Amino acid sequence: MGIIRFLDPAGSVRRGNWMDDAVTFADRTYDLEEITVLPPTDPSKIVCVGLNYEDHAEESGMEVPERPLLFLKPPNTLAAHGDTISLLPGKDEIEYEAELAVVIGEQCRNVDAEDAYDVVEGFTCANDVSNRDDQMVEQNWVRGKAFDNACPLGPVIVPAEDVPEDASIQLRHNGDVVQDSSRAEFIFSIPELIAEITTYMTLEVGDVILTGTPAGVGPLANGDTTEVEIEGVGTLVNEFRAD
């Protein structure tokens, strides 16, 4: 199924292969109940792309950008497949956003678009959990996007060539399909995004690019479950609770 990052029964961080209901590392096979699933990468930063689908720009009441709209999520936002995520207290609009995530495989800067996939390790699933209460009233989106566990990621990394160019991207909220689109609907392609981002900053091994979310974003409440499923990648499942 792909590369998984996990804690083995001794508490060591490992990178193995997730196959069906077991994980293999070196000469060992672990049942899923024996391990703790971690985010599949440990990035120095998560570079996010806003409004990369026309339908999401429309539902947000915003114009389609002429160049990629970029913002950052720091490492404290990471959460893993299967984690239960605490919702920020006192907020009315915490929303889910299904996204295809690109994991960088080598340190890079000034990458040409035609060479972009040379620096990609693979793809995974992401949920760009967003605090609209604060996002809508601040310029840099720190409160809106950078709060703890606001970037569930996983469960695995798969090679880019295993994911179709028109791979479906879907989010189910408490079992109901609320986002249903395709990476073919991107405004800016993955090579374009990598070229643009590396014009301004160095990407390190393990860094992540979130490629934007389609229409259908909506609110999260206590007890909710989301499932982000991307064709060729897998399904990221998380529960949410109000402290």
pLDDT tens digits for 73-99?
Answer: 999 999 999 999 999 999 999 999 999
Q: Name the token pair of 138.
A: 């601040």
Q: In this structure, are 99 and 175 located in the same domain?
A: yes
Q: What confidence score (pLDDT) does residue 22 get?
A: 96
CA nearest to 154, candidates 83, 220, 70: 83
Q: Name the token pair of 25.
A: 């590392």
CA 66 to chain centre: 23
Q: In this structure, are 76 and 193 located in the same domain?
A: yes
Residue holding tokens 């090579």? 191
Burial of 9 (0-12, 13-18, 19+ CB in 10 A): exposed
Q: In this structure, are 174 and 118 located in the same domain?
A: yes
DSSP calls for 11-25: S-EEEEEEETTEEEE
Domains held by the chain: number:
2
Residue holding tokens 């566990």? 149
Q: What confidence score (pLDDT) does residue 243 get?
A: 79
Q: In this structure, are 163 and 117 located in the same domain?
A: yes
* CATH code: domain of residue 19: 2.30.30.370
Q: What confidence score (pLDDT) does residue 1 get?
A: 81
Amino acid making up residue 187 = I
Q: In this structure, are 81 and 8 located in the same domain?
A: no
Q: Do residues 92 and 133 touch, judged by C-beta distance below 8 A?
A: yes
Q: In this structure, are 54 and 83 located in the same domain?
A: yes
Beta-bridge partner residues of 211: none
Chunked mean pLDDT (size 10), the chain, 243 residues: 96 95 96 97 98 94 94 98 97 97 98 98 98 94 97 98 98 98 98 98 98 98 98 98 90
Question: For residue 14, what are the domain limits?
Answer: 1-38
Q: What confidence score (pLDDT) does residue 20 get?
A: 84
